[in-house]
Amino acid sequence: MAEIKIIPTEEFSRIWAAPLPKEKRLALIADMCRANTLVSIKKAGSGHLGSSLSSLDIVTMLYYSEMNTISLGKENPNRDIYFSSKGHDVPGHYSVLHSLGILSKEKLMLLRRLDGTCGHPDVGTPFIEANSGSLGMGISKAKGMAFAKKYKNNSGRIFVMTGDGELQEGQNYEALATAVHQKINNIVVIVDHNKVQTDKPVSKVCDLGDIEAKFKAFGWHVARCDGHNFLELERIFRSFDKVTNKPKILIADTIKGKGISFMEHPAALQVGKGLYPWHSGAPDDASFQQGFHEIICRINEKLQNHGLNSLVLELISPEEKTRSGVTSESVADAYGDALIEIAVKRKDIIVLDADLAADCRVRNFERALPDQFIENGIAEQDMVSMAGGLALQGLLPVVNSFGVFLASRANEQIYNNNCEKTKIIYVCHYAGLIPAGPGQSHQSIRDISLFGALPEIEILQPCNAAETRKIVDYCLNEAKSTCMIRLIIGPSPRIITLPSDYQLKKGVGTVIKEGNDAIIFAYGPVMLHEALIAAELLERESISLKVVNMPWLNITDGPWLKSVIGEIPSIYILEDHAQFGGLSNTLIREAVDANISCNKRFEIMGIRGSPAWGRPWEVLKYHSLDGQSIMENIQKTIQKTKR
């Protein structure tokens, strides 16, 4: 990795105390935060750069010049409150908190790490006022905070930032309407209007039209300015002081990637061939060094022009290498390829996406079969109900989004569709605990239970690319009812080997390692990898663990289950899900029905409590779901049984 240096808190104090006009000091502080944001994301290996950089001037202005939050302190009920609804910009927010001495250097450099800072806002971090990352909730939450302040006779304003793409979420408009009706006037919504969502311009995904007119139609006081101009921001905030009878909205026109020339929209779109390449992910070494050098040189030039010393930077020690397991195989890529192969022959297949085409691997489908592709924007409930309408007209919709949003946010719409007895394929991407860096808002550990409670839905998760293709073919071409396909988003930690003559058979799993002392059922590449590690470690202790891949998560063939367990006394179910409502629900119920449970010991290994964030190996270990922990658990149990 490239050499990493950060700007320490002391340098921010020095610059803020310099005898310069306030707007010049703010510009310097914001750029210094840009540099540290770039560094923290580079060190983390992932994160959201584009929207952090676009919002940083506004966040800097709020904390350093506009709000009383820091001067009054966290416990003062009359303080101003700021939080971001979109959540992607939290690395920039962390950098501002570090600049003020609130967030330590160690915490700043532990972005997306266990015991560090979360990839999306989490209230466990000082001055992070609300959890976000699940889009569209912020104005409603801010409305509740603002109401509470008035109810308790406390002063202080509520500032909430939304993304422009986020405004596709319907909940925003419920909040806009009710805030006026409820006479909540101590709230300021700031729209970071950088014109780009994920990797496409907002206008290409779902054009917002005249948002000034829309907001005014709801009865809000609306202003607009350059979100990178501190004098303009100051002017707008002072004008808001005079508006006491309405909630207020500032549309801040910003540039995604602001401050690093080759990351700035619209120039970056040319590099990305029409797609914005810097929304998420860490830059490569060359891009990091180029961007960091650009920011630091610009800051130092300004400092020297004002007769001030150049920045003093602090070197960050390189990180120790840790256990990693990745292959070139991606079940998500196999899904996207299989979808195209089938849909070319079937014009009734319509693929729907919620602004996640790249992550859900349907971008190639969009290019290959544009007439069979619908980009619905950030609006899962609308997308699912639209799919219901498509199905009622004899088409086969394939609905794509992150599992955590699709399964929970649109669950009522999915239930409604299900009651109509049509067939729809729901694909829950980013399923399970890993990757854990983005945090709880993105870790899908409830989706099996939420879909599993619905009648006549088949839930499947593949363990490798070959099984993925078979599952896609089954769901689209053979299944009679609605299916949910569960997919991890990252590369497989190992390629799970299935028999050369493997066939997908309803309710039946596959033994991928023989054993007779204990048996473990698992699903998906991540947990099967850990189960196999545990089996390999147990072999050294003369304990034989049978490992079974079970792609059917809510259907089990009773005779097969009885046969595969046989005389084995200890049965383990490894969940990539919360401990309740996953595969274990199905297996244990079937074991009881098939009279398998007598003299057998069942143990469920799943996620207890809220999921932790961090690197894969440390989060798996935290939840005792890594191979070593699984091995130790099984070893301890079997040794007790043998006594």
Q: Which two tokens stand for residue 611?
A: 């999921």
Q: Which two tokens stand for residue 424?
A: 């729809």
Rounded CA gap, 643 and 636, in Å?
Answer: 11
Mean pLDDT of 580-606: 90
Tens of pLDDT, residues 451-464: 999 999 999 999 99
pLDDT of the residue at 271: 73
| pLDDT band, residue 425 (cuts 50/70/90) | very high
Q: Are strands 158-163 and 81-84 parallel, antiparallel or unpaired?
A: parallel
Strand blocks (E) in 40-116: 81-84
The CA distances from residue 230 to 56, 59, 61, 173, in Å, are 11, 11, 7, 29
| pLDDT band, residue 639 (cuts 50/70/90) | confident
| Number of neighbouring beta carbons within 10 Å of residue 338 | 19
Q: Which two tokens stand for residue 384?
A: 């699912």
Mean pLDDT of 478-504: 96
What is the pLDDT of the chain when averaged over all its residues?
95
Mean pLDDT of 600-616: 94
Mean pLDDT of 367-384: 97
Mean pLDDT of 83-94: 96
CB 574 within 8 Å of CB 527: yes
Cα dihedral angle (505, 506, 507, 510), rounded to 10 degrees? 20
pLDDT at 290 over 90: yes
Report the interhelical angle of 90-99 vs 50-61 (nearest 10°). Answer: 40
User: Which residue, 55, 88, 30, is CA-closest to 194?
Assistant: 55
HEC string of 560-611 equals HHHHHHCCCCEEEEEEEEECCCCHHHHHHHHHHHCCCCCCCEEEEEEECCCC
Tens of pLDDT, residues 12-45: 999 999 999 999 999 999 999 999 999 999 999 9
How buried is 414 (Cβ within 10 angstroms: 0-12 exposed, 13-18 middle, 19+ buried)?
A: buried
Task: Give the residue carrying structure tokens 């947990």.
Answer: 527
| pLDDT band, residue 322 (cuts 50/70/90) | low
SS3 222: strand
- What are the two backbone dihedrals, phi and then psi, of residue 152, each rounded to the nearest 5 degrees? -95, 10
Mean pLDDT of 4-8: 96
Q: Which two tokens stand for residue 263?
A: 């990351």
pLDDT at 274 over 70: yes
User: Which residue, 550, 514, 512, 533, is CA-closest to 632?
Assistant: 533
Rounded CA gap, 102 and 128, in Å?
Answer: 11
Q: Are strands 545-549 and 510-513 parallel, antiparallel or unpaired?
A: antiparallel
The rounded Cα 75 to chain-centroid distance in angstroms is: 30
CB 194 within 8 Å of CB 208: no
pLDDT of the residue at 323: 57
pLDDT of the residue at 481: 96
CB 637 within 8 Å of CB 520: no
Mean pLDDT of 624-632: 97
Per-residue burial over 369-402, b if 16 or more Cβ lie within 10 Å, else e, is beebbbbbbbbbbbbbbbbbebbeeebbbbbbbb
Report the interhelical angle of 230-241 vs 50-61 (nearest 10°). Answer: 60
Tens of pLDDT, residues 198-229: 989 999 999 999 999 999 999 999 999 999 99
Looking at residue 158, its amino acid is I
User: Which residue, 528, 404, 515, is CA-closest to 467?
Assistant: 528
What DSSP character marks residue 478?
Answer: I
Rounded CA gap, 459 and 129, in Å?
Answer: 37
Q: What angle do CA 162, 438, 51 make, to 5 degrees?
A: 35
- What are the two backbone dihedrals, phi and then psi, of residue 29, each rounded to the nearest 5 degrees? -60, -45
* Length of the chain measured in residues: 643
pLDDT at 49 over 80: yes
SS3 159: strand
pLDDT of the residue at 324: 58
CB 549 within 8 Å of CB 463: yes
The CA distances from residue 255 to 271, 362, 422, in Å, are 16, 27, 44
pLDDT at 408 over 70: yes
Looking at residue 56, its amino acid is L
What DSSP character marks residue 612?
Answer: P
pLDDT at 597 over 90: no
C-alpha torsion sign, points 182, 184, 185, 189: negative
Instruction: Say if residue 266 is preceded by a cis peptide, omega within 30 of 0.
Output: yes
Rounded CA gap, 429 and 88, in Å?
Answer: 19
Report the interhelical angle of 22-44 vs 9-16 (nearest 10°). Answer: 170
Mean pLDDT of 170-178: 96
| pLDDT band, residue 321 (cuts 50/70/90) | low
The CA distances from residue 431 to 20, 60, 378, 442, 568, in Å, are 51, 35, 18, 9, 30
pLDDT of the residue at 92: 97
Tens of pLDDT, residues 105-159: 999 999 999 999 999 999 999 999 999 988 999 999 999 999 999 999 999 999 9
- What are the two backbone dihedrals, phi and then psi, of residue 84, each rounded to the nearest 5 degrees? -105, 130
Helix ranges (H only) for 399-497 are 403-409, 411-419, 447-452, 465-473
Angular region, 161: left φ>0, alpha ψ -120 to 50, beta rest: beta
pLDDT of the residue at 342: 98
Q: Based on C-alpha coordinates, what's the Rg of the chain?
A: 26
The CA distances from residue 603 to 520, 570, 576, 612, 633, in Å, are 9, 8, 14, 22, 10
User: Which residue, 423, 362, 365, is CA-closest to 395?
Assistant: 423
The CA distances from residue 617 to 274, 327, 348, in Å, are 36, 15, 42
pLDDT of the residue at 643: 54
pLDDT of the residue at 624: 97
Q: Which of 71-75, 506-510, 545-549 has the lowest average pLDDT? A: 71-75
Rounded CA gap, 104 and 468, in Å?
Answer: 44
Rounded CA gap, 463 and 536, in Å?
Answer: 18
| pLDDT band, residue 566 (cuts 50/70/90) | very high
